[in-house]
């Protein structure tokens, strides 16, 4: 049985998100640092039972984001971009304020858009992993329409205007 009025996919997304948050909490308690392996594990949980073929795997197809002017990079660029993503993290983690680092890693990941689906959820989980590692509480974006639109608008502005 699923939650009334929700599709099986929506039901699995909610369950998977809960499991991913618990996984992130375990990573924090075990002092596991962010890595490509950790990122792919988190994404694998996000898409578990929804899209097994693409769970934890960088996309092999070009994508467009509905309603966005930002066009994510082509798939053949992803590995180099992700290598740069982790290089930035490793060079910055001891120098940037943790809140700035978490925000940077979130924005950079969602802009690269390395996965076919689940990029937003995964990037917010990475942001919260970093925040929790430094003793900050979870950052939660309100589920109401205005909060979501403000979040999407801010991302769009950074992605299209390079307005960091």
70 is an active site residue: no
What is the pTM assigned to this prediction?
A: 0.92
**pLDDT score at 157:** 85
Q: Which CATH number fits domain 8-161: 3.90.1150.10, 1.10.3290.10, 1.10.260.40, 3.40.50.2300?
A: 1.10.3290.10
- Contact criterion met (CB below 8 Å) for 63 and 72: yes
> Where exactly are the structural domains of the chain?
8-161
- What is the rounded average pLDDT of the residues 89-106? 97
Judging by beta carbons within 10 Å of its beta carbon (0-12, 13-18, 19+), is residue 118 exposed, middle or buried? buried
**pLDDT score at 161:** 83
Task: Please give the angle made by the CA atoms of 135, 136 and 141, to the nearest 5 degrees.
Answer: 150
Q: Which of 11, 17, 70, 113 is catalytic?
A: 113
Mean pLDDT of the chain: 93
Report which of residues 162 and 35 the model is more confident about: 35
In the block, tokens 């390079």 appear at: 162
Residues 28-79 have pLDDT tens digits of 999 999 999 999 999 999 999 999 999 999 999 999 988 888 899 999 999 9
């Amino acid at each position: 049985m699923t939650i009334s009025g929700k599709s099986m996919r929506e039901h699995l997304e909610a369950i998977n998100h809960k499991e991913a948050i618990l996984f992130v909490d375990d990573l924090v308690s075990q002092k596991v640092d962010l890595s490509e392996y950790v990122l792919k594990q988190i994404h694998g949980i996000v898409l578990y039972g929804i899209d097994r073929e693409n769970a934890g795997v960088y996309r092999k197809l070009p994508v467009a984001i509905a309603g966005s002017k930002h066009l994510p990079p082509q798939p053949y660029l992803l590995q180099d971009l992700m290598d740069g993503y982790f290089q930035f993290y490793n060079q910055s983690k001891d120098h940037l304020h943790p809140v700035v680092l978490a925000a940077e890693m979130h924005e950079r990941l969602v802009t690269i858009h390395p996965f076919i689906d689940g990029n937003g959820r995964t990037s917010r989980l990475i942001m919260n992993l970093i925040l929790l590692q430094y003793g900050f509480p979870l950052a939660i974006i309100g589920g109401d329409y205005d909060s979501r639109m403000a979040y999407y608008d801010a991302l769009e502005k950074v992605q299209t205007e390079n307005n960091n």
